[in-house]
Amino acid sequence: MQIYLVGGAVRDKMLGLDVKDHDWVVVGATPEEMLDRGFKQVGADFPVFLHPGTKEEYALARTERKQGQGYHGFTVYSAPDVTLEDDLKRRDLTINAMAETEEGQLVDPFNGHKDLQKRTLRHVSEAFYEDPLRILRTARFAARLAPMGFHVSEETMALMRSMVNDGELEHLVPERVWQEVQRALHEQAPGVFFEILQELGALAILIPELSEREALHAGLQALQCVHQQNGSTAQRLAALFSALPEPAAANRAAEMKTPNECRGMTHLVCLFMAELAETGDSDLTPENALELLGKADFWRRADRFEALLQTLTCTTSEAQNPAIAQLRIAANAATSVSPKALLEQGYKGKALGEAIHRERLSRIRGTLNE
């Protein structure tokens, strides 16, 4: 039995980055031997085990053979006769196909170290073609490593383009696409992910609304701004979709099976952008400000409202900054209204609601006039 550190841990160590996760490959062992050593099996499709002490993952060396379309239909073979090189050959990029012995010696059959030095993302073998999800993974690695000077090799770009042209992306389910998009939104240079997909023709298939140049350019500018603010996933997606009409943005967020928080923020950002565009560079009226607070469900979701305003500073023009500031002022004024105090004055039911509305409007009017 031989044990090797593989993949991202080896790559990141060589790049001088923090190593967060350690993945291990075991060569020359059977599941029974792993269980006898106290490992706990967790893999359903192929043998993966948790170390009894560290709880890190140890996978038996394996090969995969394509049997269907998309990223499904792989037949996995795992046995003691599978070599380390066999296992590494099935991986996506050469920089992810390096291993290290227990003594710290590098095993690099596909020249991943050389590609690290050349800052190149290159596919390991033609087996790359068998999994269309690797297109998104490669674009995501480019988004992560672009600040360090990495680029995708011409031959890998050509291979991915042929996969797109052959319709391979159409077999991906929305959940897997969203998983990669969500991760990409938080990479060091998130815009690179979408730029590569656009260059490949993949964006027109996965997020067609963004394949129009102006919408993509505006969305990526807004996304970069939110990224610099360390915004949430919901804020990042809303910024990306901010140049789209609200119905189109909301529909795409739903089609991608994004979480409810992402859909809600996307809806609000696009809605408020349209509302503020109508206002132009004029001041908000107290009535308009109160109406917008209601549309944002501010009374129940004050935290989300603040995130909305932060996002809008990235998606709107400077001319609309005063209106955003007025919304924040109006919100602060309206929260000072106490429904309890009005209840004690005898207001009930519909009359209570009308009294709350009048009092909120009065305080907003007084504050905005000041």
- Give the three-state DSSP class for 250: helix
Range in 120-124, 140-144, 342-346 the model is least confident about: 342-346
Check residues 336 and 269 and name the one with the higher pLDDT.
Answer: 269
- Could you say which of 112, 130, 162 is where a domain stops? 112
Of the candidates 281, 277, 259, 288, the residue with the CA atom closest to the CA atom of residue 315: 277
- Could you say which of 79, 112, 145 is where a domain stops? 112
In a domain, 338, yes or no: yes
Query: Taking residues 263-292, what's their average pLDDT?
Result: 91
And the tokens for 154? 């011409």
Query: Taking residues 309-320, what's their average pLDDT?
Result: 94
In a domain, 85, yes or no: yes
In a domain, 65, yes or no: yes
Instruction: Report the distance separating Cα 327 and Cα 239, nearest Å.
Output: 19
DSSP state of 146: G
What separation in angstroms does the CA of 355 have from each of 224, 327, 362? 43, 21, 10
Query: Taking residues 326-340, what's their average pLDDT?
Result: 90
Instruction: Report the distance separating Cα 175 and Cα 222, nearest Å.
Output: 24
Per residue in 162-184, pLDDT (tens digit) is 999 999 999 899 999 999 999 99
pLDDT computed for residue 70 by the predictor: 52
| Count of structural domains, the chain | 2
In a domain, 282, yes or no: yes
- Could you say which of 112, 147, 182 is where a domain stops? 112
pLDDT computed for residue 71 by the predictor: 53
What separation in angstroms does the CA of 95 have from each of 8, 82, 100, 118, 265? 8, 21, 13, 11, 37
Supply the mean pLDDT for the chain: 93
Element (H, E) at 4: strand 2-6
What phi and psi values does residue 24 have, to the nearest 5 degrees? -125, 145
Residue 370 has pLDDT above 80, yes or no: no
Q: What CATH number is given to the structural domain containing 72?
A: 3.30.460.10
Per-residue confidence band for 128, with pLDDT thresholds at 50, 70 and 90: very high
In a domain, 137, yes or no: no
| Percent over 90 (pLDDT), the chain | 81
In a domain, 237, yes or no: no
Per residue in 47-77, pLDDT (tens digit) is 899 999 999 999 999 987 765 555 555 677 8
Per-residue confidence band for 278, with pLDDT thresholds at 50, 70 and 90: confident
Query: Taking residues 150-161, what's their average pLDDT?
Result: 98
In a domain, 74, yes or no: yes
In a domain, 188, yes or no: no
**Residue-range definition of the domain harbouring residue 107:** 1-112
CB 238 within 8 A of CB 269: yes
pLDDT computed for residue 72 by the predictor: 55
Our CA angle for 78, 81, 87, nearest 5°, is 55
Per residue in 135-144, pLDDT (tens digit) is 999 999 999 9
